[in-house]
Amino acid sequence: MSDLSRTFGYQQVDQDERRRRIRRVFAGVARRYDLMNDAMSFGIHRLWKRTLARAAHPLPGQVIVDLAGGTGDVARLLAGEDRRVLVCDPSLAMMCVGRERGMRHVSWLAGSGEGIPLASASVDTVTIAFGIRNVTSMEDALREVLRVLKPGGRFFCLEFSRPWRPIRPFYDLFSFAVIPRLGAWIAREPEAYAYLVESIRRFPDQESFKQTLLRAGFAGVGYRNLTFGVACLHRATKAS
pLDDT digits (tens, 9 = 90+) for 69-85: 999 999 999 999 999 99
pLDDT digits (tens, 9 = 90+) for 84-132: 999 999 999 999 999 999 899 999 999 999 999 999 999 999 999 999 9
Q: What is the pLDDT of residue 1?
A: 40
Alpha-carbon distance of 37 to 13, in angstroms, equals: 26
Alpha-carbon torsion angle 133, 135, 140, 141, nearest 10: -80
In sequence order, what are the residues at sequence separation of 6 or more whose Cβ sits closer than 8 angstroms to the Cβ of residue 238?
146, 149, 150, 151, 152, 153, 154, 155, 218, 219
Q: What domains sit in the chain, N to C, each tagged with a CATH number?
A: 3-237 (3.40.50.150)
Q: How far is CA 169 from the centre of its chain?
A: 25
Q: Does residue 126 contact residue 67 with C-beta atoms inside 8 Å?
A: yes
Closest by CA to 134, choosing from 18, 55, 28, is: 18
Q: Does residue 23 contact residue 159 with C-beta atoms inside 8 Å?
A: no
How many CA atoms within 13 Å lie on the side-chain side of 64?
A: 30
Alpha-carbon distance of 240 to 124, in angstroms, equals: 12
* Residue 8's pLDDT band (cuts 50, 70, 90): low
In sequence order, what are the residues at sequence separation of 6 or more whose Cβ sits closer than 8 angstroms to the Cβ of residue 1?
137, 139
Q: What is the pLDDT of residue 209?
A: 96
Alpha-carbon distance of 68 to 129, in angstroms, equals: 7
Entry pTM: 0.88
